[in-house]
Each structure stands twice: as structure tokens, then as C-alpha cells.
A and B are shown apart, each in its own frame.
Chain A
Amino acid sequence: MAKIDLVKLRKTFGAYVAVEGLDLKINDGEFLIMLGPSGCGKTTTLNMIAGLEAASAGDILFDNVNVTDLPPHERNVAMVFQSSLLYPHISVRRNIETSLRHTTISDADRKRRIAEAAKMLEIEPFMDKLPGQLSGGQRQRVATAKAIVREPSVFLLDEPLSALDAALRLSLRSELVNLQKRLGTTTVFVTHDQVEAMTMGDRIAVMNSGRLEQIGTPDEIYNSPSTVFVAGFLGSPPMNLLEGDLAGGFFRRGGLAVPIQGPGGKVTLGVRPQDVTVTEATAPGALPVTVYAVEHLGRESVLIADDDRGNKVRALVAPGWHARVGEKLGIMPDPARCLLFDTNGARIYETVARAA
């Protein structure tokens, strides 16, 4: 168990900057998700925490001890790799055993720990098989067992579920969280899947182009995104982002007029699909749109429509709701639920929504 501090961490590959000035504190026992699109630097960061890649600048501290230059196994970390990488030519048991190579524990202890890990992850029936003979889910459990058997101070996971099918992913998700809470090991989990991020993490660190965009609880990240990138990246269906002008107490774009106060000029208005209402095309102040598709999700439906500039706009509607493709409608955002972002993508906080 350890708390982790990343201080001004930087990684370059030649001229390419993979991670830039990353400051991040990970609390003891926390389940932290690193979320971002591919190439955002999240895996590089994880590799630097593990010691697989050397930091170009900056420091990594485990419980205030600088480990920046320690080789991986001296950091007492355990790692589960993408598609649950295992040694393909040795048995599951020996795969798990190799995690304990450099420990000084007794043989009896070693056996006990392996047996416990095997029991915890229910992999006892195939301890003597080769990884190639297992299914994806079983391999994932073995990789997890291999990681926990070391009783590491930090547990690092690099998209461990990405190669699995949806149903399996769902069950392993809660299994992993449950395991982490029982063991209380500080965990860093890298993913590009926002659902995994929202459901698993204590906190989420959203990364983009090598920089930390925002860190916070899933609730904060979702409800109060601090940049337009975070706003657009999280949420399904995604947030509507509309560029327009803010002047005279109104956000305007085409026919749309949302009563909202703030510093004037070009801004982006963000509003989640559940925070808009569908109106007549001619309703004053509404965004005129043309129906493109209606997706029925069971508990609710999503209206997808084109506005006059060809942007897709989404609105959550009641499950029984119907509309013809090509039908003209209006979209009216709830001013109190609207977020404004400046042209650099940063959130504008000093806004006051007025009643329409």
C-alpha cells in the first residue's frame, strides 16, 4: 500500500512529447482510472510508474520515497498488461510463481499465497494448463492472480479488459473493483472506455495529448467538466457542443437563443442530451433541427438530429416517443444545465442562467 506522487513528469520520444508536465497525487488505497483516447499518454504514464519506461524529467514518489530510477521489481508493483499478457510456454502455476521470484518468503508461504490467489480468482482447475489453452476471461483472472500474489504496494492495470467480449467485461469489472476494495491496494487502471472509467474508479484522471485535463470523482468529471474535451469525452450519448456567440444575456446560434449571462464573445455551449427538451420547429428560441434517427434503448430513447450547420444534436426522449426521419423539430436546452467553454476549450464559470 502506498500513495503515489507524480511531480512534473515528462516523457519524450525523440521530438515527440508523450507526457508533458504531469502532476498527479494518487491516494493510498485509491482506485484511480486514467482515461483518454489512444495516444494521450496514459499508458506511457503507467509504464513510467511501473518503471518500464524511464522518465525524461520529473519524479515519481511512492510514500515520499523517490523511485524514479528504481528498476520495476524494486518498486514492488504488480502489473496486468493489455490482453492479459502471460508467459505462453509455462503453466499457469509457474506463471504465478514467477511473481515471487525475488521475494525471500518461505516455500510454505509461497505455496499458501499461490493457493489463496488461485482460490480467490477461481482458477484452481486450470493451474497446470498453458495460457494458450485458456479463454480470454480465464487468462485475465490468471494475470490478476499473478499480480495480487506478490502483495504489491501498487497495482497497475493497462486496459486489461479491452480484448474481452462485452458480457465478460461487465462481470470482471465488478469483480476487479470488489477485489481491490477487499485488498485495499492502491490501483491505477488505464482505459479508453468511459463506461469502465465511470463505474470502476474512485477518481478519474482524464488525459489528452500528454496533458492532464481534469482529475476528480466520476460525479465531478461528469457533472462539472472543466474543459470542453472532458465534456465531450464522457457521457453516452455524448454531450451536445454548440459553437455560438454570447452577447446581451443570450447565447445565440442560428435560431437558438439561450438566456445565459457571461463574458461576451465566441463560446461553446455544452448541454447533455437529458437536459434539452424537444419542441415544435417554430418554437421561439429553439434550435431548428431535422430528425436523423431515433435510437430506442429500452428505458429511454435518443433522438439524433441534424441542425442547420450539419452538426448532430442529441436529445433524450421518453421510450414511446416517435418521429419520422426528415421531420422538422426544435431543440431547447435547459439554461440552468448549460455549460460554457471559451475558444481555448476552458470552462467559463462566471455564468448566470436566467429563467427563459
Chain B
Amino acid sequence: MAKRSIFLYLAIAVAIVWSIFPIYWFCRMAFLTPNEIRLFPQPFMPQVFEFGTFYNIFGYDYEYAAGYVSGASGQSNQIIRGVLNGLFISSIVTVITLLIVVPLAYVFARMEFRHKQKLLFAVLLAVALPPVSTLIPFYSMYVQLGLNGTRFGLIVVTLTITVPFVAWMLIGYFRNLPPIERLARIDGYSRTSCLLTLILPLAKSGIAVAAVIAFLFSWNEYTYALVLVNGTSANTLPTAISGFLGQYPEPGNLAASVIVTIIPPALFAYFLQRHVTEMSLVDPVR
């Protein structure tokens, strides 16, 4: 038994290193001094942990203990705006996605109707569309409609990613709920009240997971944002970060802002792992 548990803890250690080391190696730069960053080879760990770069990206100067001052980043306006826009856009996208997808997935998962397979295929087609091929059409459409550089425009385009993808996942989830609609009909629930008062509370774990997935897709969306809102007032965090990749690379600030992008999803991840047993795609054993 002891042998097994040593093996197990070794496996856990390897898995954890595998999962967080790439993150660590990059984010470590946020704490390296400019001199350390220029070193070859690079050090495993920073000498001191100071949060100067975080002050910098949000527009404040910071005086290090060593005596030198790192100035506020020129990108800070974009970063602050990116965080606010990102939170705003992702929240709206999440809410709209759920409003759209929950009834849609429910209908596809639980009801039989004509042309269902064809419509499912349409959803699959929407999942399969590569953003890189719809960029130009969207760009030209947005220029004509005046939606370029607007948060509304980005919300609409992000919905085209979240809706089909989340729908695809939720359909499988809804399919596995027990067939309580039959019971509900005997008890005199209408279809709508059955969905609202019985299915929704029953499916709350799955819907919560769907919400997180929608939020993350929106929060992390880069390709459309780069073309449609980069450099405008509707800028989101990913595109703001790409500013650091430009002519004057600031690796420390870049790493600090990447850490900022990971924080909200990480909080979600902690929340998600507790709902893990609820998200099975197969029939639960009765």
C-alpha cells in the first residue's frame, strides 16, 4: 500500500508541475528586475517579490526597495479600460448566452420535432466556423453598420462563439436529466412553467458551468477583439496586453497583466471543481 501511495503522490506532483509550471515561468517575470530579465540563462526564481509591475500597469510609479523607480506604463490606460470593458462585455455576453442557450439546449435535448437533426447540424456548423475566416465579413459588416470599435459590436460577435459552443455542451447535459416532464404534465405544469420552476432549479449546476464557460470564452477572446476593437475605447484586456508586444517590450508589465487576466477565471475554476460530479455526459447510474 505504501508503494502505491508514494507512486500516487509522485503522480500528483508531476501533474501539478505540468499544469502550473508554464504559468509560473511566465508570470515569474512580473517579479524579476529589469537586470534579471536580461540575464542569460534566466534565473529559476526572482530574488525579491515586489509588486511594482502591478502598480505600473495600473498607472502608478513604484519605488523598489533597491532604490530605483519604475515608471507607470504607457499602456496603463488601455489596461484599466481593458479590465473594465472585459468585465462588462463578458458579463453581458454570459447573461445573454444563458438566456439564449438554456431554452435552446433544453428544446434540442428533451423534445422531438421535425428537422431537429438538420438544425443541430446548423449549430455544429456554427461551432466549426473558424473566426479567421469570418473576420473580414464581420469587419466589413461592422464598418457599414458603424459597429466597429463598439462594445455592442464585440458582444454580438462574441455571442456567435459562445452560443453554439455552450449549446453543444448543455444539450448533452440536459439529455441526462431524469424525464420529469412527464410527471410535470400529469401534475398540470405547462411547458413554460415546467422549464422555469422545475428544470432550471434541477439543472443549476450545469447552467453554472455553462455560465463560466461563456464568461471565459468572452473574457479570453482575442482574434475578433484584435480586429474589431483594438485601440478603441471598447478595447478588452487581451488586446491591451498585445500592446506590450509592440515596439517597446516590457516583459515585466506583460507578465503582470497576464496574471490579471488569469485571476477571474482562476476564481471560477475553484468554484467549478466542486460541481464536477454534476457534469457527466452519460446516464447517471440510478
Contact = CB atoms under 8 A, between A and B. Distances in A.
B188 A73 contact: yes
A73 B182 contact: no
A77 B187 contact: no
A86 interface: yes
Given A85-B179, A89-B201, A52 B188 contact: no
Contact of B180 (A51, A73, A87): A87
Given A85-B178, A85-B180, A163-B286, A52 B202 contact: no
Q: How large is the interface on B (under 10, 10 to 19, 20 to 34, 35 or more residues)?
A: 10 to 19
Nearest to A143: B183
Given A85-B178, A88-B178, A79 B286 contact: no
Contact of B185 (A72, A78, A88, A90): A72
Interface string B167-192: 00000000000111011011111000
A77 B179 contact: no
B180 A72 contact: no
A134 B179 CA distance: 18
A72 B186 contact: yes
A51 B183 CA distance: 12
Nearest to B204: A89
Nearest to B203: A89
A71 B189 CA distance: 10
Contacts of A74: 188
B198 interface: yes
A70 B163 CA distance: 37
Given A88-B178, A163-B286, A73 B186 contact: yes
- Which residue of B180, B182, B183, B188 has the most chain A CB atoms within 10 A of its CB atom? B183
A73 B178 contact: no
Contacts of A78: 186
Contacts of A324: none
B182 A85 contact: yes
Interface in A66-98: 71-74, 77-79, 81, 83, 85-90, 98
B6 to A, nearest CB: 37
Tell me whether chain B's interface is mostly helix, strand or loop, or mixed: helix
A87 B198 contact: yes
Contacts of A73: 185-188
Contacts of B179: 81, 85
Given A88-B202, A89-B202, A83 B186 contact: no
A85 B187 CA distance: 13
Interface in B16-69: none
A52 B198 contact: no
B188 A87 contact: no
Interface in B145-182: 178-180, 182
Nearest to A98: B187
Interface in B79-118: none
B187 A50 contact: no
Interface string B222-263: 000000000000000000000000000000000000000000
A125 B167 CA distance: 41
A213 to B, nearest CB: 27
Contact of B286 (A52, A72, A83, A89): A83
Contact of A52 (B178, B186, B189, B201): B186
A152 B49 CA distance: 73
A87 B189 CA distance: 13
Given A78-B186, A89-B201, 15 more contacts: A50-B186, A52-B185, A72-B185, A73-B185, A73-B187, A81-B179, A81-B183, A85-B179, A85-B182, A85-B183, A86-B183, A90-B201, A101-B189, A102-B188, A163-B286
16 contacts: A51-B185, A52-B185, A71-B185, A73-B188, A77-B186, A79-B183, A81-B182, A81-B183, A85-B179, A85-B180, A88-B178, A88-B180, A99-B187, A101-B187, A101-B189, A102-B188
Interface of B: 178-180, 182-183, 185-189, 198, 201-202, 286
In order of increasing CB-CB distance, the 3 nearest A-B pairs are A73-B188, A102-B188, A89-B202
